């Protein structure tokens, strides 16, 4: 029985995470990509610092007092009680009354992540972080020095364990999507290889949720059309996928067929953002005008600073408001001119909140978004004999805020 795509086209093509191009793939262009995923990273770091945690069920949890009382990571003993990441501490304690809860030590995690990446740099400079505890490595050009993909992965695992006291699971494949999937196949401290000539027999029997970027809502949509495994997705008709999931459905099908060949982006490269946001859940609900104003000003300062860092201005400001009953609403407003000034962003955000918040209604959390971004160079004001008053004021305030950034 034929198990390839419905159009009988070749399985291998070049693509990136956003699109797929029908370019025939040549065997000599196979790359070797590793995805290194630290096992229970926060919990492993705490155990490396406190060896006594090794023999007890332990979880790193957010602060209950600050209303972040969820499980951030758990060790293997806690996992045996079916404790899940993002589960509430209260629920985890019900499953395992003797669970030891530990506050996160954030400085420790950043330090361990840097040490882990320094080990990666001994093998290649083509490293793309995917969060604090995960990275893709392109070792195609390193194999003459260090061996094949599996040998490099095993060497990295051994060094991380011996030098840092934590473990990593590593997926080895010919593209980023399957390397990421491979790192999830065996845990903890394991190497899984998904070769280009046998990927279908390994990948296609897996549930569709194992594929990168397939979330709960996508799983639900797939189930309505009978797609339960990655193999089902690979053989699904394009028009049906487009109807249910739009362009994302076709992109995910290409992933299932091994058609992703996006490049590993070297560390240090920072793509230009499409929007800039900052949000916070506060210790206490924001009830008064002064509390809300202070919170929005604080968030807008960060948003504006990041806009200027990238040389960008926003044309639209949006606010996400979460109320006491945890209902969420999103509202936005267009600006009269592009800006990267915090006082203009905060003024607009406060106006949105005042227009949409009922009297005596409190806010649980707030997020300020700067959207519809343009380059600052595109917003230079035309020389005019009679400039608008706001133009002169904008230039002065922009110079002031840039000076503060430099300080």
The 10s digit of each residue's pLDDT in 294-326 is 999 999 999 998 888 888 899 999 999 988 887
Dig out the tokens for 89 from the structure.
Answer: 């501490």
pLDDT greater at residue 259 or residue 63? 259
Catalytic residue among 134, 151, 305, 361: 134
Q: Could you give the residue range(s) of every CATH 3.30.1490.100 domain in the chain?
A: 276-406
Quote the longest CA-to-CA distance of the chain. Answer: 77
Region class of 384: left (phi > 0), else alpha (psi between -120 and 50), else beta: beta
> pLDDT (tens digit, 9 = 90+) per residue, 376-404?
765 544 444 444 455 556 666 665 566 55
Which residues, other chains included, contact 167 with Cβ-Cβ below 8 Å and sequence gap of 6+? 38, 39, 44, 157, 160, 161, 188, 189
Cβ-in-10-Å burial (0-12, 13-18, 19+) of 205 comes to: exposed
**Closest by Cα among 171, 126, 172 to 149:** 172
> pLDDT (tens digit, 9 = 90+) per residue, 72-88?
899 999 999 999 988 88
The most confident of 68-72, 163-167, 354-358, 399-403, by mean pLDDT: 163-167
pLDDT at 327: 85
Q: Could you give the residue range(s) of every CATH 1.10.150.20 domain in the chain?
A: 16-26+199-256
Compute the residue count for the chain: 407
Report the distance separating Cα 276 and Cα 349, nearest Å. 14
- Locate tokens 């501490």: which residue? 89
Beta-bridge partners for 339: 314
Report the distance separating Cα 111 and Cα 106, nearest Å. 9
Backbone angles phi, psi at 404, to 5 degrees: -65, -40
> pLDDT (tens digit, 9 = 90+) per residue, 9-18?
433 333 334 4
| Topology of domain 16-26+199-256, CATH | DNA polymerase; domain 1 (1.10.150)
Report the distance separating Cα 211 and Cα 185, nearest Å. 11
pLDDT greater at residue 171 or residue 269? 171
pLDDT at 309: 84
Mean pLDDT across 339-366: 90
For the segment(s) 276-406, the CATH number from 3.30.1490.20, 3.60.15.10, 3.30.1490.100, 3.40.50.300 is 3.30.1490.100
pLDDT at 350: 94
Is 401 an annotated catalytic residue?
Answer: no
Dig out the tokens for 229 from the structure.
Answer: 């495994």
> pLDDT (tens digit, 9 = 90+) per residue, 94-125?
999 999 999 998 789 999 999 999 999 999 99
pLDDT at 152: 97
Report the distance separating Cα 199 and Cα 258, nearest Å. 8
Question: What share of the chain has pLDDT > 90, as a percent?
Answer: 59
């Amino acid at each position: 029985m034929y198990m390839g795509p419905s159009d009988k086209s070749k399985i291998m093509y070049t693509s990136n995470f956003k699109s797929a191009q029908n370019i025939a793939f040549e065997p000599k262009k196979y790359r070797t990509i590793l995805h290194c995923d630290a096992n229970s990273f926060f919990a492993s770091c705490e155990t490396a610092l406190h060896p006594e945690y090794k023999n007890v069920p332990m979880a790193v949890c957010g602060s209950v007092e600050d209303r972040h009382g969820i499980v951030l990571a758990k060790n293997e003993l806690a996992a045996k009680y079916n404790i899940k990441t993002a589960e509430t501490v209260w629920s985890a304690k019900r499953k395992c009354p003797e669970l030891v809860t530990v506050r996160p030590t954030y400085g420790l995690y950043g330090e361990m992540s840097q040490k882990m990446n320094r080990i990666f740099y001994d093998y290649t400079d083509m490293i793309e972080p995917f969060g604090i505890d995960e990275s893709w490595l392109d070792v195609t050009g390193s194999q003459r020095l260090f061996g094949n993909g599996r040998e490099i992965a095993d060497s990295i695992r051994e060094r991380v364990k011996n030098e840092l006291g934590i473990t990593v699971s590593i997926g080895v494949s010919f593209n980023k999507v399957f390397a990421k999937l491979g790192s999830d196949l065996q845990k903890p401290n394991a190497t899984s290889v998904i070769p280009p000539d046998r990927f279908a027999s390994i990948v296609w029997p897996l549930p569709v949720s194992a594929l990168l970027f397939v979330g709960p809502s996508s799983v639900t949509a797939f189930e309505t059309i009978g797609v339960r495994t990655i193999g089902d997705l690979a053989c699904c008709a394009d028009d049906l996928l487009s109807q249910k999931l739009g362009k994302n459905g076709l992109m995910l099908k290409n992933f299932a067929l091994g058609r992703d060949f996006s490049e590993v982006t070297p560390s240090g490269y920072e793509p230009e953002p499409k929007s800039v946001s900052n949000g916070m859940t506060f210790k206490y609900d924001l009830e008064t005008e002064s509390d809300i104003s202070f919170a929005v000003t604080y968030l807008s300062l960060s948003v504006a600073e990041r806009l200027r860092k990238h040389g960008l201005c926003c044309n639209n400001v949006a606010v996400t408001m979460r109320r006491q009953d945890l209902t969420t609403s999103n509202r936005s407003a267009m600006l009269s001119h592009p800006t990267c000034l915090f006082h203009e962003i905060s003024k607009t955000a406060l106006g949105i909140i005042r227009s949409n918040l009922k009297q005596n209604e409190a806010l649980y959390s707030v997020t300020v978004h700067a959207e519809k971004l343009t380059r600052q160079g595109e917003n230079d004001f035309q020389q005019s004999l009679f400039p608008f008053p706001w133009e002169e004021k904008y230039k002065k305030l922009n110079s002031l805020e840039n000076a503060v950034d430099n300080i």
